[in-house]
Amino acid sequence: MFQDIFQRIKDAYPIVQQVAHRTPLTRSNTFSRMTGSEIFLKLECLQRTGSFKIRGATYAISQFKSSEKEQGCVAASAGNHAQGVAYAAATAGIKSIIVMPELAPASKIIATQGYGAEVILHGMNYDDAVIKAEQISVETGAVFLHSFDNINVIAGQGTIGLELIEDLPSLDVVLVPVGGGGLISGISIAFKKIRPDTKIIGVQASGCPSMVESIRKGRITEIAKSDTIADGIAVRKPSETTLKVVNELLDDVITVSDDEISHSIFMLLERSKLVIEPAGAVGLAALLNNKINVVGKKVGVVLSGGNIDMSLLERIIERSLYLESRFVRITGLLPDKRETLKDLLLVIATTKASVVSIEHERADPNIPLGRMNVTITLEVSQKRYLWELMNNLGKAGYKFRVVK
């Protein structure tokens, strides 16, 4: 089976290159220094449609028979496979129907429609959408294009492996996001056939560890509930094909938490100026949290996509700033007088802190008459400036405490 898929990966390479970008592989000085290794980022976040999924969709559709092209295709996706199939189908001149969960991000729904697909919203998660897509396939004759349980889709994703090998054949380790396993199956087959000494490590969200559990139990295991921000890899069970590849070819599969994923998204945005979705950031999250020892090694990290919902990105940025104490909240009881806030702001103005917002409450019956509770959100570049501010406030007679 692996030899057949490898041959298809080689066949897919020139076909995929006609539609998809050959994405950069860039060395990160920042993350290399932080991990004591050489970190190279494979920027599939810069791919057409914002993720690697266009590769598998392009090759799979290219292999349709004439009669299948006339019937079109149908797929199920939380977003990235949807956009990849929609774009690839439009490029090939065939019709596409995409079933997406009802709570899929609006940005991904709009993008999928923009690429020319008919979008149907159904169910609460990816698995519900798959059932509906299969039903539509039976009713209409459209070819069902599974996001990972499809040999040609796997082969198309495997072209990333060929690019990595061509750009940097001396890679010691490659970290790849894992959902259903299509991406890592293609990449691992390419590497194990050409550069078998390179370690391939899968990284999955701990809130939906279906591949990890399936490996542990030695059989396909369905996770009862998905609970992760990494919707792109929130697949509740792998396929027989992908589990077989992972069992035989992968060196390890590890998990990272949503907090670890969020931090890596923030770091990529601030240090590398890259917008990465949660599913695409799991590889770096594993490195930054010492889930694997890579000291002294050359490491490739596949950043598989950049289609993050803007409201989620905003929450991640704000939360990260609080966690790093660069955004802080302080609160205290002050005299309820007209000049109080003016005098307070004059004290703050003497320190290296910027006011983000001020809230004051005097109507709460737990607040003594003649007093008001003031909560201030501040931006500080270093923790020492916060303690300098607290000291100055104390000297001025204001008793504040930091809100956790």
CATH number of the domain that residue 272 is part of: 3.40.50.1100
> Is the domain of 387 the same as that of 351?
yes
**Please, is 260 exposed, middle or buried when counting C-beta atoms within 10 Å of its C-beta (0-12, 13-18, 19+)?**
buried
- Continuous segment of H or E residues that includes residue 57: helix 53-62
Structure tokens at 202: 């899968």
Q: Are residues 182 and 117 in the same domain?
A: no
Query: Is 337 in the same domain as 374?
Result: yes
Number of domains in the chain: 3
Q: What is the CATH number of the domain that holds 361?
A: 3.30.70.260
**Same domain as 228, residue 136:** no
Which of these three, 256, 290, 319, is where a domain ends?
319
- Say yes or no: 107 and 208 in one domain: no
CA dihedral 44, 48, 49, 54 (to 10 degrees): -80
Cβ pair 67, 141 in contact under 8 A:
no
Which among 378, 177, 325 has a CA at the least distance from the CA of 265?
Answer: 177
DSSP assignment string, 332-393: EEEE--TTHHHHHHHHHHTSS-EEEEEEEE---TTSPTTEEEEEEEEE-SSHHHHHHHHHHH
Q: Does the predicted model carry a pTM greater than 0.85?
A: yes
User: Could you tell me the residue range of the domain that residue 171 belongs to?
Assistant: 2-52+160-319
What pLDDT, on the 0 to 100 scale, is given for residue 292?
94
Residue-level pLDDT at 128:
87
Which residue in 356, 361, 366 sits closest to 336, CA to CA? 361
Residues 78 and 32 placed together within one structural domain of the fold? no
**73 and 16 in a common domain:** no
Distance of CA 8 to the CA centre of its chain: 27
Q: Are residues 344 and 385 in the same domain?
A: yes
* Residues 306, 240 share a domain: yes
Tokens 């889930």 belong to 291
Provide the pLDDT for residue 267: 97
Q: Are 83 and 306 in contact (CB under 8 A)?
A: no
Q: How many CA atoms lie within 13 A of 350 on its CB side?
A: 12
User: Do 310 and 349 share a structural domain?
Assistant: no
| Domain match, 286 and 165 both | yes
Say what the pLDDT of residue 248 is. Answer: 94
pLDDT for 404: 67
Helices marked H in 115-257: 126-140, 151-157, 159-167, 182-194, 210-217, 240-249
Q: What is the pLDDT along the chain (404 residues), one digit of tens a residue?
A: 789 999 999 999 999 999 999 999 999 999 999 999 999 999 999 999 999 999 999 999 999 999 999 999 999 997 899 999 999 999 999 999 999 999 887 888 999 999 999 999 999 888 889 999 999 999 999 999 999 999 999 999 999 999 999 999 999 999 999 999 999 999 999 999 999 999 999 999 999 999 999 999 999 999 988 899 998 899 989 999 999 999 999 999 999 999 999 999 999 999 999 999 999 999 999 999 999 999 999 999 999 999 998 999 999 998 898 887 788 899 999 888 888 888 888 888 888 888 888 998 888 888 888 889 999 998 888 778 888 888 888 898 889 999 86
